[in-house]
Structure 1
Amino acid sequence: MDGVTESRLDAAALGRLLDAAGAPGHGELPVLEPLSGGSQNALYRVAGRGTPMVLRMPGTRADAARLDGLRREIRLVRALTGTDVPHAELIAADDAGGVLGQPCYVMAEVDGWNSTGAQWPAPFDTDLTARRGLAFELVDGAARLGRVDWRAQGLDGFGRPDGFHERQVDRWLAFLNNYRVRELPGLDEAADWLRANRPRHYTPGIMHGDYQFANVMYGHGAPAKLVAIIDWEMTTIGDPLLDLAWALLGYDGENPRTQGYYADLTGMPTRTELLAHYERVSGLSTENIDYYLVLANFKLGIVLEKTYAASVTSDKVDPEIAAAMGPMIPQLIAQAAELARSLPSVARHGR
């Protein structure tokens, strides 16, 4: 829990915050129970007030960037109120940090499950028809998020949509140069292709930034139902189609991979089926999806390389990480280059 202890949490102060927000159980003292699963922030179940809730806040050693990141999360989740995007509803928030000494927010507890997909829960473990629905629901969530009128929801200034694609390649290469420990064959080829083929026009929208099975929750049982998108740390106003490409990284052309991906995609829909569903829900064209797939492989490889670099330059990281990511990251970069090589010049597609 990043050094967070229950002793520093003032339950009475939290209760007053909840009362002021009109939360259930007015006047009742909340009971805080630590939860696992928060990679960037601490999580607590808030019990004792009739309705299960979850408190999210930074750890005691959080730096200024982490505090600002949580404030951005609060702003984003607040903006999703009243939309049809599946998410944990915001109940109360303290942006300034005066209640518990750190910015924090309380959200409704979501009744559902989250999995990396290595082993799906029943019935999705054996029922391939039901499993197909998981992919459609994943894409549906990305489409709903991307079509939100972000300006009307108060998110002006949340990101920098102007010049989004012009910045991507050089931004991520600069990021990589901060921790580069090895050569990544195909990196320059993919970068050059992305620079030459970026979209001339795009429709800005809310972009999750790490959109995949591991960052959503589903309701229990069949049929598949996406009940919440989670982990908003990388969210910005950018190009929503990059989220779609992120969700399709487990595909090799039309068909899902049967190996070499963290989730078991056996029985999932074809890429064409998922693209058609995304277009119906979002209203956006996916004709230039190959550009986004090159960018998604390129970006993910660079992001993961930071973890790999730490694993080979520090004895504090599990060596299993190095063993797992060592071959995986060059494969992502190689896939970006191979796909770029197979494509004609898009000549700066419009849409």
Structure 2
Amino acid sequence: MSTPEWMDRTRAVRPGEELDAAWLEKYLAEKVPGLTGPLGVEQFPGGHSNLTYLLRMGEKELVLRRPPFGAKAIKAGHDMGREYRILSKLEPVYPKVPRPLVFCGEGESPMGVPFYVMERARGVIIRAKPPKGIELTPDFMRRLSENFVDNLVELHAVDWHAAGLGEIGKPEGYLGRQVAGWTERYGKARTDDIPEMEQVATWLAGHLPAELAPTLIHNDYKYDNLVLDPDHLPSIRAVLDWEMATIGAPLSDLGMALAYWGQADDPEERVALPFGLTMLPGNLTREQLVARYAEKSGRDVSGIAFHYVLSLFKVSVIAQQIYYRFKQGLTKDERFAAMLFGVQILSKTAARAIETGSIRP
């Protein structure tokens, strides 16, 4: 199968993160009808959480997901069985997900950790560097950012009761648990003195808003978790990385999208963070994203500043956890050495948002 120039490139598996290819080939041939070897294994180099591999068997392209090595600080974020169940129940009612194929529990896996395999969703992914062969004009980015919001509204409209997704979350008291839980996670992964992190955690605990009716939320909704249809750009074909999905406050999902949404008029250090290409001309601003979401969903978005601050805090904690694993020698991925700077920048951004009560730069 030929690889278009805009397709995500894989590479050889990083040392220490290899799979048991001989066992895996036999296992997949038994579990997935129509698969025949030999098995080829490569690794997607991006991502900072669960490890993702490209598997090729004949003409089939599959994706395997497994927890990272040394993942102890946030076990819930690496629950492969939960992620597999979400995809299995979501696919019939929200088709913009990769089709899950097989889940392997910890006891059966020679890796010592559970994993699952799904079909590869082929398409264009907008990452920190523009995909080759596609011109990201202002008109393209405008339409993409509009589709970005509209698809989030569509996701929040999923009937999670009918889909049987009630088991994946406890919506009552969601925000309070989020603040307490992420504050605790930061404490466990803390390495350096960052005053803004303590300040933001204290503010969040004292300013919990009333909660809207719960919806299915993705919790990591951003450009590089979207797969675009190459034949109908910039339409969205699939949403990836459902590891943190739950039933909870819809504005927290919008807040997370805003936390990753850098603008050209943001402070220079934030624009420099590798959060994708949201600062390119044509993109909606954070305020325009919120306004479009309100228009399309009919929800009250007056409390969005709290959710923006909470999401900045959560992203900071995630970066801190990754840096902690690196400092402990649990991963050798050199990209993780710079994560502490991300914690410092984002926590300062959150502190400024508290001062101004705004999502503006």
Q: TM-score range by the shorter chain?
A: 0.7 to 0.9
Give the Å deviation of 1:277: 3.1
Give the Å deviation of 1:255: 6.4
Structure 1: segments with no counterpart, 5+ residues: 20-24, 345-351
Aligned with 1:56: secondary structure?
Answer: strand
Give the Å deviation of 1:67: 11
What amino acid does structure 2 have at the position aligned with 1:54? L
Contact 1:3/1:59 (8 A) holds in 2: no
Identify the residue that residue 349 of structure 1 maps to in structure 2: none
Question: Separation in 1 of the partners of 2:302 and 2:264?
Answer: 14
Contact 2:156/2:216 (8 A) holds in 1: yes
RMSD (Å), alpha carbons: 3.4
Give the Å deviation of 1:132: 1.9
Give the Å deviation of 1:337: 1.5
Q: Map 1:56-67; keep pairs closer than 5 Å.
A: 56-58=64-66
Give the Å deviation of 1:201: 2.3
Question: Separation in 2 of the partners of 1:140 and 1:160?
Answer: 25
Compared CA separation, residues 283 and 318, structure 1 to 2 (3 A): same
Question: Separation in 2 of the partners of 1:70 and 1:9?
Answer: 17
State the number of aligned residues. Answer: 331
Contact 2:171/2:247 (8 A) holds in 1: yes
Identify the residue that residue 22 of structure 1 maps to in structure 2: none
Kindly provide the CA deviation profile for residues 8-50 of structure 1, in whole angstroms up to 9, marking residues without a partner as x: 1243x5344333xxxxx4xx635432131275245343533x6
Question: Separation in 1 of the partners of 2:297 and 2:257?
Answer: 15
1:37 equivalenced with 2:44 (yes/no): yes
Give the Å deviation of 1:104: 5.1
1:327 equivalenced with 2:341 (yes/no): yes
- Give identity over the alignment, percent: 24
Q: TM-score, normalised by structure 1?
A: 0.80
What amino acid does structure 1 have at the position aligned with 2:42? L
Compared CA separation, residues 305 and 202, structure 1 to 2 (3 A): same
Contact 1:15/1:30 (8 A) holds in 2: yes
Give the Å deviation of 1:98: 8.7
Identify the residue that residue 112 of structure 1 maps to in structure 2: 123
Identify the residue that residue 85 of structure 2 maps to in structure 1: 75
Identify the residue that residue 347 of structure 1 maps to in structure 2: none
Give the Å deviation of 1:75: 0.5
Aligned with 1:341: secondary structure?
Answer: helix
Q: Map 1:1-351; keep pairs closer than 5 Å.
A: 2-11=17-26, 13-19=27-33, 25=34, 29-37=36-44, 40-48=50-58, 52-58=60-66, 69-90=79-100, 92-94=101-103, 105-125=116-136, 127-220=137-230, 223-251=233-261, 259-262=271-274, 263-264=276-277, 265-267=279-281, 268-312=283-327, 314=329, 317=332, 321-322=336-337, 324-343=338-357
Contact 1:14/1:100 (8 A) holds in 2: no
Question: Separation in 2 of the partners of 1:60 and 1:308?
Answer: 13
Kindly provide the CA deviation profile for residues 42-85 of structure 1, in whole angstroms up to 9, marking residues without a partner as x: 5343533x6x3415253798989589711111110011122235
Question: Separation in 2 of the partners of 1:300 and 1:57?
Answer: 21
Kindly provide the CA deviation profile for residues 230-281 of structure 1, in whole angstroms up to 9, marking residues without a partner as x: 1222222222322222222255789677733422322111334322332354
Structure 2: segments with no counterpart, 5+ residues: 1-12
What amino acid does structure 2 have at the position aligned with 1:29? T
Question: Separation in 1 of the partners of 2:115 and 2:330?
Answer: 33
Question: Separation in 2 of the partners of 1:251 and 1:165?
Answer: 21
Question: Separation in 2 of the partners of 1:63 and 1:302?
Answer: 14
What amino acid does structure 1 have at the position aligned with 2:66? P
Aligned with 2:167: secondary structure?
Answer: coil
Question: Separation in 2 of the partners of 1:105 and 1:315?
Answer: 22
Compared CA separation, residues 252 and 123, structure 1 to 2 (3 A): closer
Divergent runs of 4+, >6 A: 59-64, 97-102, 252-258
Aligned with 2:343: secondary structure?
Answer: helix
Compared CA separation, residues 136 and 35, structure 1 to 2 (3 A): farther
Compared CA separation, residues 157 and 251, structure 1 to 2 (3 A): closer
Question: Separation in 2 of the partners of 1:32 and 1:205?
Answer: 39
Give the Å deviation of 1:109: 2.5
Contact 1:133/1:224 (8 A) holds in 2: yes
Give the Å deviation of 1:143: 2.3
Question: Separation in 1 of the partners of 2:262 and 2:164?
Answer: 38
Kindly provide the CA deviation profile for residues 179-212 of structure 1, in whole angstroms up to 9, marking residues without a partner as x: 2122222233322332232222222222222222
What amino acid does structure 1 have at the position aligned with 2:317? I
Contact 1:139/1:247 (8 A) holds in 2: no
Contact 1:255/1:271 (8 A) holds in 2: no
Contact 1:117/1:213 (8 A) holds in 2: no
Give the Å deviation of 1:319: 5.8
Contact 1:194/1:291 (8 A) holds in 2: yes
Q: Which protein is bigger by CA-based radius of gyration?
A: 1
Compared CA separation, residues 94 and 67, structure 1 to 2 (3 A): farther
Question: Separation in 2 of the partners of 1:117 and 1:303?
Answer: 19
